[in-house]
Amino acid sequence: MFFACDHSCARCILSVVTASSFQIDIPQALLARACAGDLGAFEQIYRRFERPVYTLAVRLLGDAEGARDVLHDAMLKVFQRINTFRGESPFWGWLRQIALNEALMRLRQHDRAESSDEMDAVVDEGSGPWGHADAGTLERALARLPAQTRSVLWLYHVEGYSHPEIADLVGKSVSFSKSQVARGTQRLREIIDSPAGPVSCLIAIAN
């Protein structure tokens, strides 16, 4: 679980505010039943994590059908391997890792030949338009980003992964992760701020 530490470091503050939707506590008794192969317990766990897993997959893949496949395959792996869960970390973290690996694997399989060139992280001191944009506008803008850029942005901002962790997950460098966050942030700003609204994404074309 994430809690703010006494010295209020930036990482701790970030952790508190970036609480993942996966952070769901599962009762020990329910886990024990699932480990014993109880189908009812599996269903309860599935119901609790269905939306977080599906949302993560949709954000990374940008494809509803592919995201449903990830949901199915990830949950199947969770139930097949639940006996290997040692309880040393929260169950939700273990489940999220399985779901994330599944989504990233699919993302690599459907690599859309995006440019992986790195750019310096642009520091933009101005506040973003997302503060006043509605959810629909932000979602449409997000959907227009290239899958890789959107994935890195999502893992960094929403799931709270650090740049080194993201670099490990996607098999790229730390500077790549940083540049994708900067690029994605900039593009989101441009898309939302454009007079026509979030109608197209020029990143992929430009690359």
Residue 89 Cβ vs another protein, minimum distance, rounded to whole Å:
22
- Per CB under 8 A, 79 contacts another protein: yes
- Strand segments, DSSP code E, in 33-162 are none
- Per CB under 8 A, 193 contacts another protein: no
Q: Is 74 exposed, middle or buried (0-12, 13-18, 19+ CB in 10 A)?
A: buried
- Per CB under 8 A, 84 contacts another protein: no
Residue 113 Cβ vs another protein, minimum distance, rounded to whole Å:
26
158 or 174: CB nearest another protein:
158
Structure tokens at 18: 């970036």
C-alpha 118/C-alpha 137 separation (Å) is 28
Q: Considering only residues 27, 37, 93, 197, which one is a binding residue for another protein as defined by CB under 8 A?
A: 37
Q: For residue 67, which of 78, 82, 56, 80 has the smallest C-alpha distance? A: 56
CA angle 4, 6, 11 (to 5 degrees): 45
Task: Report how far apart, in Å, the C-alpha atoms of 87 and of each of 31, 37, 101 are.
Answer: 10, 17, 19
CA angle 77, 180, 110 (to 5 degrees): 45
Residue 186 Cβ vs another protein, minimum distance, rounded to whole Å:
11
Q: Considering only residues 31, 130, 165, 174, which one is a binding residue for another protein as defined by CB under 8 A?
A: 130
Q: Considering only residues 31, 138, 143, 169, which one is a binding residue for another protein as defined by CB under 8 A?
A: 138
* Contact track, another protein, 97-126, x by CB under 8 A: --------------------------xxxx
Name the one range near another protein by CB under 8 A: 47-55, 100-108, 111-119, 171-179: 47-55
25 or 50: CB nearest another protein:
50
Q: How many Å from the N-terminal Cα to the C-terminal Cα in the chain?
A: 39
Structure tokens at 17: 């505010």
- Per CB under 8 A, 62 contacts another protein: no
76 or 199: CB nearest another protein:
76
